[in-house]
A = this chain, B = another copy of it.
Amino acid sequence: MQKATYTRGQISAKTGCKLETVRYYEKAGLLPPTARSRSGYRLYAEEDARRLRFIRRCRELGFSISDIRDLLGIVDKRTYNCADIRAVTQVRIADVKGKISDLKKILKTLENMSAKCPSGTGKDCPILEALEK
């Protein structure tokens, strides 16, 4: 009984990772080199699909490729430590919080600037003045 295999196009459709991105993840070391058909086509297994979905989910949550490499490295150890994964996640949470707070400041500034604009067609635009500080 053979294991099911998929071509790159098939695994791409199956996981939602774009065709070229799959190759990119292989080159980036997130996906181990697959088996190849006699003519050199990559042959992906079910396990690769799971891994790709994991990577995709992590990317959606903003983990960097290098974060994901760390996470997968931890996972790939037969005996991993839950605390290690938690640590990576906590750093990510702090990062997201920081970004939200930065963006809120930026938003406030932009809205203040925009509010001063009489929405007219005149010159001496108050937005420009604010931008020149």
Taking residues whose C-beta sits less than 8 angstroms from the other chain, chain A's interface range is: 35 or more
Residues of B within 8 A of A125 (CB): 80, 82, 85-86
Contact A106 B54 (CB under 8 A): no
Residues of B within 8 A of A104 (CB): 100
- Given the interface contacts A86-B119, A122-B82, does A132 sit within 8 Å of B92 by beta carbon? no
Which stretch, A18-26, A36-44, A109-117, touches the partner chain B?
A109-117
The docked-state distance in angstroms from the alpha carbon of A45 to that of B123 is 25
Chain A contact residues, CB within 8 Å of chain B:
50, 53-54, 57-58, 60-62, 71, 75, 79-83, 85-86, 89-90, 92-93, 96-97, 99-100, 103-104, 106-107, 109-111, 113-114, 117-125, 127-128, 131-133
